[in-house]
Amino acid sequence: MSILNSTFNTPYHTAPFSKIKNEDYLPAFLKAIEKARAEIDAITANIEAPNFENTIAALDFSGEELDRLSSLFFNLNSAETNDQIQKIAQEVSPLLSEFGNDITLNEDLFKRVKTIYKQKASLDLTVEEQTLLDKKYKSFSRNGANLSEDKKTRLRAIDKELSKLKLKFGENVLAETNNFEMHLTNEADLSGLPDGAKEAAQQLAESKGKKGWLITLDYPSYIPFMTYADNRELRKKLAISAGAKAFKGNDLDNQDNVLQIVRLRHERANLLGYQTHAHFVLEERMAKTPETVETFLNELLDKAKPAAIREFNNLQEFAKDLDGIDQLQKWDGSYYSEKLKQKLFSLDDEQLKPYFKLENVIDGAFTIAERLYDLKFEEINNIDKYHDDVLTYKVTDTKGNLVSIFYADFFPRAGKRNGAWMTVYKPQYIKHDVNDRPHISIVCNFTKPTKSKPSLLTFNEVTTLFHEFGHALHGMLANTTYPSLSGTSVFWDFVELPSQVLENWCYEKEALELFATHYNTGEMIPMELIEKIKASATFHEGMQTLRQISFGLLDMSWHGQDPSSITSVKNHEKQAFEHTKLYPDVAENCMSTAFSHIFQGGYSSGYYSYKWAEVLDADAFEYFLEEGVFNKEVAKKFKDHVLSQGGIEDPMILYKRFRGKEPQPDALLKRAGLIAK
């Protein structure tokens, strides 16, 4: 039997990465699917009358081995992939899709679930049990259990095709990212670039046997160049290359994949009786309907657009005065914004970076979690890693009980997709009276250490680390009975609350003093810099808000209508961006073909949730500000009513239990400087 098909005989039952060979995966998946199928068969073959324990709970705990294997494999496919793993993913995804359909379209199983669901008013169920029963019933009814046989067959075909298309979309984006290099041999071309960024570019060139400097589309390379490089033509080249990912008409082009994905999603929603994919998705979100989302985004747009236009015009004037630029282009935005920020606040990332050594920021996040939630983090080296860069920690409470195992993976590499995310290797649940603790991971793409400097983070990278760590805390502090309701298994427009609320501590003096010390001198970050960070927090907030709204509206334009008449991805996108556009369009660029959040990840019809959760997080943090940012009582409420509760209840009920009232958007608008404080 493969090591992947047995209980891991390792410390804390962690994944034995070093002992797994790529060729182990496919046989292990086949075996795990067979085992999970047998567990489903045992439920349907049970001669006892259906009840909550023998059907609903049994169903939630079934397929544990398969779920664990899937988490492990697909996490690696995002963080440490290669051609072989991608090929296996293409083989495995349709199998998993087919097996998922075998469950939701299993009539005998659905009959048992339906029987219990019809009796729910007379059953003495806990709130969590009621939620699980509702969720299980909906997982059948929303995925075709009530369809006729011919429609079930079509649903299976759609799901199989979608699983392949989403993978292909992601593979193309990763390949396009890895394929681009800008090789510079004239040092004058790096004018304006900070020393650390130049050194990193030189080391990257050296690692590939080249002289000079290499700039790539990985964020730690791309962002500093776009922000600081004086050479406008090179910024243009880099920006156009980034915006043209999977939009070149070559083998890695995603235009057809986008059109196929949205059409299949729409057809699937129609099959299930929904008007659009957005109607289907949003039924299980706090927002409930596409109309609510569009109203929410458009109301924010009304508030943000005047500020965004004002900011853009100011920036354009600034660029004209400074360098005679008549028309600001997309490759000018970061460059002149940074220069204007320096002028207005005497603040730039290069001033701040020495105070944000990665190790210190990690320790700061840990100390804040300890102060708020009584957690202890201890780095351990007795568990396996999938790459040498990965850091591993044991998380305990004040009594020494295990809370979680935590993996942290911070630097870019060829096998890792861009961006930052939190994920789960094993969820928390309670079985046979044992509270089985979770294994949580965060993955980022930060600037690597160079020969002369440690990894020094930009302030934006600091907030990214805190954001993902906020998600991680949601996973670590989970305390529910059933795995499908645990941790971040919540409504998608609620999941960003724990992550976004933690970002607020990055702006607070009491928190910064815990970790923002100079990497060379150990000097505490000066008070004037903290004041500048706070003062600049709303710099270009109108433009940033407009940008986020534009992504949300693009998402809804793909998923909130019948896409069958859309023939040009680019033209459709231009139309969707019409009311949020500030910069001139770039003909060679298209965002949709690399919009992994909605075409590969889980954000289809859900990108609005970042702004939705900002309303929640601003309102929640206002409570901390009122009582003190390290107030134990408020932190305990947040832990007890939000972080530990997973998806056991409607999120608005959980939020009101924490806050005592519904969230008010005014806190966000004030924080963003869009209305007076």
Closest C-alpha among 229, 248, 226, 418 to residue 330? 226
Closest C-alpha among 220, 193, 224, 227 to residue 448? 220
Show the DSSP H helices in 208-271 as ranges: 219-228, 232-243, 255-271
CA angle 206, 208, 211 (to 5 degrees): 45
Phi-psi map region of 432: left, alpha, beta (phi>0 left; psi -120 to 50 alpha): left
Say how many CA atoms lie within 13 Å of 518 toward its Cβ: 10
In this structure, what is the dihedral angle of CA atoms 247, 248, 249, 253, given to the nearest 10 degrees?
A: -40
The residues near 380 (Cβ < 8 Å, ≥ 6 apart) are 11, 392, 393, 394
Buried b or exposed e, range 441-475, using 16+ CB within 10 angstroms: bbbbbbbbbbeebbbbbbbebbbbbbbbbbbbbbb
The residues near 450 (Cβ < 8 Å, ≥ 6 apart) are 196, 199, 200, 203
The residues near 188 (Cβ < 8 Å, ≥ 6 apart) are none
**Can you tell me the distance from the alpha carbon of 148 to that of 150, in angstroms, rounded to the nearest whole number?**
6
**Can you tell me the distance from the alpha carbon of 167 to that of 349, in angstroms, rounded to the nearest whole number?**
36
Token duo for residue 628: 């003190």
- Is residue 399 classed exposed, middle or buried when 0-12, 13-18 and 19+ CB atoms within 10 A define those classes? exposed
DSSP code at position 588: T
The backbone torsions φ and ψ at residue 502, rounded to the nearest 5 degrees and listed phi first, read -70, -25
Q: Count the Cβ atoms, other than its own, within 10 Å of residue 405.
A: 24
**Can you tell me the distance from the alpha carbon of 506 to that of 364, in angstroms, rounded to the nearest whole number?**
10
Q: Count the Cβ atoms, other than its own, within 10 Å of residue 33.
A: 21
Beta bridge partners of 407: 392, 441
Q: Quick check: is 468 catalytic?
A: yes
Token duo for residue 246: 């999977």
Beta carbons of 486 and 428 less than 8 angstroms apart: yes
Q: How far is C-alpha 314 from the chain's CA centre?
A: 33
The radius of gyration computed from the CA coordinates of the chain, to the nearest angstrom, equals 25
- Cα distances from 257 to residues 167, 262, 570, 572, in angstroms, run 10, 9, 13, 15
- Which residue of the set 129, 468, 503, 573 is catalytic? 468
Beta carbons of 234 and 189 less than 8 angstroms apart: yes
Q: How far is C-alpha 518 from the chain's CA centre?
A: 30
Beta carbons of 243 and 207 less than 8 angstroms apart: no
**Can you tell me the distance from the alpha carbon of 612 to that of 606, in angstroms, rounded to the nearest whole number?**
10
Any idea which residues carry the catalytic annotation?
Answer: 468
